[in-house]
Amino acid sequence: MTEPQLYEPGPANLARVLKDGEKWTLILVKELRHSPEKVWQALIDPAQVREWAPFVVDASLGALGTVNLTWVGAPTPIETKVTRVEAPKALEYGDMKWELEASGRGTRLTLWTKINRGFVSMGAAGWHISFDVLDHLLSGTPIGRIAGGDATKFAGWQRLNAEYAEQFGVKAPNWPPNTPKR
C-alpha cells in the first residue's frame, strides 16, 4: 500500500454544481482507465466500497432493496434504498446517482449527489479524493481510504476545499475549525 502522504490530488476540475435553494446538486466526473465492468464492481461490492468511498454498506449495492449505509465518522447507519440498478451503466441509492459510460479505453464515471450549499466545497474536495483513491485501487496500487475527519487534515483536501469554494462562488468553511486558512 502506498503511503497517503505520497499522494497529491490534482487541481479542482472534477466538479460542478446545480444551484437550487439550500441543497445543491454536486456533479463530479472522473475519467478512469478501467472497464465499466471493473468500475461497476467497485461501486457495488461492499469490500471494495470500504476501500475508497466515504461510507460503508452492509450489503451489495447491485440489487434493488435496502442497505445500511454508514458515513465515515458517523455513529449510526442510515437505511438506504437502492432504487436503480442497470449494470454496468447506472446506479441510484439514497440521494446519489451514478452513471458509467465507456470512454476510450476506460470509463467516464459521473456522480450526482445533493449536498447543503454551505458544505458543497467540502463535499467536492472529499469526493475528488475518493475518486482518486478509487482509481489507485482499480490500478492495483491502493493508497487506502482518505475520508471523513482524516481527509480534512490532509493538505490536499484543504487546497481542494479552497479551490472548489472559489470555483462555486461560496465561502470555504474553515474545516477543521482550528486549521489556518490557506
CA distances from 6 to 3, 57, 144, 154 (A): 6, 28, 12, 11
Check residue 114 and give its pLDDT: 96
User: Cα(first)–Cα(last) distance of the chain, in Å?
Assistant: 29
pLDDT(1) > 60: no
Residue of 153 and 26 predicted with greater confidence? 26
Rg of the chain, C-alpha, whole Å: 16
What is the pTM for the complete model shown? 0.91
Chain-centre distance of CA 161, in angstroms?
A: 14
Gap between the Cα atoms of 82 and 63, Å rounded:
7
Gap between the Cα atoms of 165 and 154, Å rounded:
17
Gap between the Cα atoms of 55 and 51, Å rounded:
9
Gap between the Cα atoms of 128 and 162, Å rounded:
13
Report pLDDT digits (tens) over 34-43: 999 999 999 9
Report pLDDT digits (tens) over 115-169: 999 999 999 999 999 999 999 999 999 999 999 988 988 889 999 999 999 999 9
Check residue 110 and give its pLDDT: 98
